[in-house]
Amino acid sequence: MVWLIVLAFPIFFGAVWVGIVSFLSWASGWRTLARVYQSELPETFSGKRLMLVTLGRGRFPRVHYRGMLWAEFGEDALWLKPHILFRWAHPVLAIPRSVITLEERKGLLRRFVELKSRADEEISFHLHPRQVSWIEQNVRPDLSDR
């Protein structure tokens, strides 16, 4: 009887994990974005870990990917790679820069950057302004001319 429990626990835990990760992919909108922007990761990927990221439709519910995403803001695309534990339902994304809109906003407690793509305007990433290397060109005014 004990061997049955020892054998069944990993199978049960794996099934529950797959279910949770699949639900998070659906709730956040990652699945929708993956239909359009799924890609293979380039060998030159040198992404940085994003510590404060939420993704979702509207204001609530949002899925928090704290420390679970690596991003590279390339010249022509935003590359997003999830942690290996989330790759079951979160494939690598390459979102072209031409379809991304950035807007810096003030939240209840802090400022954040809202990043949206044309695949679904309701799905947005909320990132800390220091994590977005494109923000200097797109959102903040150029103060060097003043």
pTM of the model: 0.81
Closest C-alpha to 115, from 131, 129, 127: 127
Q: Domain ranges for the chain, please list them.
A: 2-138
- Kindly state the percentage of the chain with pLDDT values over 70: 92
Mean pLDDT of the chain: 87
Beta strands in the chain (DSSP E): 48-50, 53-57, 62-64, 69-73, 77-82, 93-96, 100-106, 111-117, 120-127
> Strand, helix or coil at 57?
strand
Closest C-alpha to 22, from 80, 69, 87: 87
Task: Give me the CATH code for the 2-138 domain, please.
Answer: 2.30.29.30
